[in-house]
């Protein structure tokens, strides 16, 4: 397991990531209890990932939420992101 972690890239949280997460929260894309999910998506968007893979069907792998996320991203001229489950990969 430790060997597989050598291939994992760690991205420190930035002001831009926190700001985007706050924008998601302000737009009510995520409930107040889902702040970590908003930050997770914001970090992926700011890091310019095209896809976020998650088993979190309730909060992330959700067609309506993905549309709302990408709507906020478009409003701020940020790239869209696909949020999919591992089997879809």
Q: Are 39 and 17 a contacting pair, CB within 8 Å?
A: yes
Q: Which of 18, 84, 87 is nearest to 49 (CA)?
A: 84
What are the CA-CA distances from residue 19 to residues 7, 8, 36, 86 (Å)? Answer: 28, 24, 13, 28
- The per-residue pLDDT for 85 is 94
- pLDDT block averages, 10 residues each, the chain of length 89: 75 96 98 95 97 91 95 98 93
- The per-residue pLDDT for 2 is 72
Q: Are 61 and 83 a contacting pair, CB within 8 Å?
A: yes
Which residue in this structure is represented by tokens 């979190």? 56
């Amino acid at each position: 397991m430790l060997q597989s972690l050598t291939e994992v890239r760690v991205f420190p949280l930035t002001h831009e990531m926190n700001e985007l997460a706050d924008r998601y929260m302000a737009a009510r894309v995520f409930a107040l209890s889902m702040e970590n999910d908003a930050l997770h998506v914001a970090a992926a968007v700011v890091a310019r990932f095209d896809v976020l893979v998650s088993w979190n069907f309730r909060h992330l792998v959700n067609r309506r939420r993905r549309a709302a996320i990408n709507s906020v991203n478009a409003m701020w001229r940020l790239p869209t992101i696909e949020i999919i489950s591992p089997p879809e990969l």
